Amino acid sequence: MKNLLEQFLHYLAVERSFSPRTIEAYRHDLNKFIEFFESLGKTDILTVTKEDVRHFLSARAQTNGAVTRARKLSAIKSLFKYLDHEGIISANPVSGIEAPKLPEREPTYLTQAEYQTLITTVKREATPFYIARDLAIVVLLLGTGIRLSELVGLTLDKVNLEHSGRSIKVRGKGDKERIIPLTDELVGILELYLKTRPDVFSNHLFISRLGEQLCARSVYGLVKKYLKATGIKKTKMAVHSLRHTFGTSLMNNGVNIVLIQELLGHKKLETTRRYLHINSTDLRNAVDSLVLDKK
């Protein structure tokens, strides 16, 4: 079973370009499941049943909250989906098992003034060698809402800066591609970066100083660094906060939620509803804008 786990983790690293941090999280969760499974006296993954998985989740409920159990189930589902796709198993034992109901969390996002502060901070803090690249990364995350994995996987042939169809094509969850339009401002920043980008063998849009694909871990670190340098005091600010910022900005500007779902690449509309948040100030402004009695 350990060999199959390593095979799956290798697939995530090479084929899916998952970050080392994410892969270690998968390794930790799946090792817990394998240890539990082996404690039942089973060593062949082909003998795993739906009841075994439910038994595991029930046992974890004694020490793990709903969020942690949902994450573990997601890792298990990903493993068995891979094994099924590779023809290693004939039936998927986790199909139909629903994740624990999660409490809704208010996403961390930046206001318009705050994300302008972030852009100013990048211009101020970045070294001359990296400023064009780092500014392009931050503005692209803010202006398209793409995921970290989608950004690092973006290749030059998926970037269209021609006037007639300015857009990027990203490969999201479920290996599905979607096209996201680019604003004139974004196009200008990307064009400036491409002028400074070294002519190297790698076809990836964002590259390291050595000319290799920029990994997710590096992007996570540099965005975190710039967010910290802004001095903005908000909990759990990271790369995903920029995705929240994009979605929230669209909703606050009256964009149809179905269009937001398409742009963000959400499979279910419920995810978009939970993901987008209108704070009390936005609600107050909306109510105050109503004119009930025109005199």
Of 147, 171, 197, 204, which residue is the catalytic one?
Answer: 147
DSSP 121-135: HHHHHS-TTTHHHHH
Q: Is residue 295 annotated as part of the catalytic site, yes or no?
A: no
Instruction: Please tell me which residue in 173, 234, 267, 284 is annotated as part of the active site.
Output: 173
Instruction: Let me know if 11 is a catalytic residue.
Output: no
Which of 32, 55, 166, 240 is the catalytic position?
240
158 is catalytic: no
Q: How far apart are CA 117 and CA 132, in angstroms?
A: 17
3-state secondary structure of 69: helix
Instruction: Mark whether 266 is an active-site residue.
Output: yes
Contacts 24+ apart (CB under 8 A), 40-46: 43/1, 44/1, 45/1, 45/4, 45/83, 45/88, 45/89, 46/89, 46/90
Which one, of 76, 53, 57, 75, lies nearest residue 66 by Cα? 57
Q: Residue 27 catalytic? A: no
Positive or negative, the CA dihedral 8, 217, 29, 244 is negative
Catalytic annotation on 217? no
Instruction: From 259, 198, 51, select the one nearest 59 (Cα to Cα).
Output: 51
Q: Annotated active-site positions, please? A: 147, 173, 240, 243, 266, 275
